[in-house]
Amino acid sequence: MTAIDHAAWASYLLAAVDDRSAVTAITKQLDALSIDDAYAIQAALLELHLGRGDTVAGVKLGLTSAAKQEQMGVTEPVYGWVLGSSLIDGSGEVDLGELIHPRCEPEFVFVLGEDLAGPGVTGEDVLDATDCVTGGIEVIDSRYEAFSFTLPDVIADNTSAARVAIGSGAIGPRDADLTTLGCVFEVAGEVVATATGAALLGDPASCVAMLANHLGKHGQRLWAGWTILAGAPTDAKPLGAGTRARARYSHFDSVSIVGKG
């Protein structure tokens, strides 16, 4: 079997970002793409972003809820990088001219006060290491045509990461039972989904533990100060021009974004 050229596929995906133009899924062009190769492409893509002066603000989990797994037709969580350039400012405005076919989704967000290094990290370890928990809205933007991909494709594409708004009104990690955190997601003034923290594979903290253990296998850790997206508890909705999306949370301030362009 021919070796996969990770750097070349990373450039292919970065060109899609730059051109704001969807591309054919990688797995449609190869006999096989393993999960390890997919993460190697993701790592090469991160290097390209860092080479342009971007920074790592944290890490994201994706596909940690049944709603998201069903929407995308996959059965395993995925991990990607949150870039400093992806953070949406207080205006909540998302420039749609910079994106391909964005969708938005609520997120439970952890801010770490201490490093977390797998293996062996538990949900309790995550609570110990967490400074605070808050809400957010992530904008995802698959670089693939029709938002259609297999698991290795979406991993290579940094799990569709595009933009993220982090909300205020954070609470301490043990100020509430995180499985009962509530979220009401509204798009264009309509309630489109509701969920609790338990939608994230039973417990958001366990999802973050899974992430720390995954990174540990690759000799990496979650660093103090990083923002960790535990995953969307609902499916994602299109973000069009003039569309306002609002996530109302039981324990944190509401988060609101609007598509501009």
What does the binding site for ligand 0L1 look like in residue numbers (CB under 6 A)?
60, 62-63, 68, 72, 78, 138, 140, 142, 154, 159-160, 231-232, 236
- The residues facing 112 across adjacent strands are 130
CB within 8 Å of 234: residues ≥ 6 apart: 65, 67, 68, 105, 106, 183, 185, 192, 193, 194, 195, 199
Strand partners, 94: 259
Which of the 8 DSSP states describes residue 70? H
Instruction: Name the minimum Å distance from CB 231 to ligand 0L1.
Output: 6
Question: CA-CA distance, 35 to 216, in Å (whole number)?
Answer: 16
Between 125 and 163, whose beta carbon lies closer to ligand 0L1?
Answer: 163
- CA distances to 24, 131, 171 from 100, rounded to whole Å, are 14, 34, 34
d(Cα 42, Cα 30) in Å, to the nearest integer? 17
C-beta of 138: minimal distance to Mg ion in Å? Answer: 4
Q: How far is the CB of 128 from ligand 0L1 (least distance, A)?
A: 25
Q: How far is CA 246 from CA 30, 161, 172, 219, in A?
A: 40, 19, 23, 37
Closest CB to ligand 0L1 among residues 152, 231 = 231
Nearest-CB residue for Mg ion: 138
Give whichever of 78 and 125 is closer to ligand 0L1, judged by the CB atom.
Answer: 78
Nearer to ligand 0L1 by Cβ, of 125 and 156: the residue is: 156
Quickly tell me which residue has 């006999």 as its tokens: 31
Closest contact distance (angstroms) between CB of 10 and ligand 0L1 is: 17
Measured from the CB of residue 243, what is the shortest distance to ligand 0L1 in angstroms? Answer: 17
CA dist 57 to 75, 111, 119, 131, 194, Å? 27, 10, 22, 15, 28
Beta carbon of residue 50, minimum distance to ligand 0L1 (angstroms, whole number): 21
Contacted by 78, from ligand 0L1, Mg ion, none: CB < 5 to 8 Å by type: ligand 0L1
Residue 103 CB, shortest distance to ligand 0L1, in Å, is 7
- x/- track of binding to Mg ion for residues 106-145 (CB under 5 A): --------------------------------x-------
Of the ranges 11-19, 84-92, 143-151, 232-240, which one interacts with Mg ion (CB under 5 A)?
Answer: 232-240
Spatial separation of the C-alpha atoms in residues 190 and 252, rounded to whole Å = 20
DSSP state of 85: G
Give the residue with the Cβ less far from ligand 0L1, 60 or 246: 60
232 near Mg ion, rule: CB under 5 A: yes
> Which structure tokens are listed for 41?
């492409």
**Which of Mg ion, ligand 0L1, none does 59 bind, CB closer than 5 to 8 A by kind?**
none
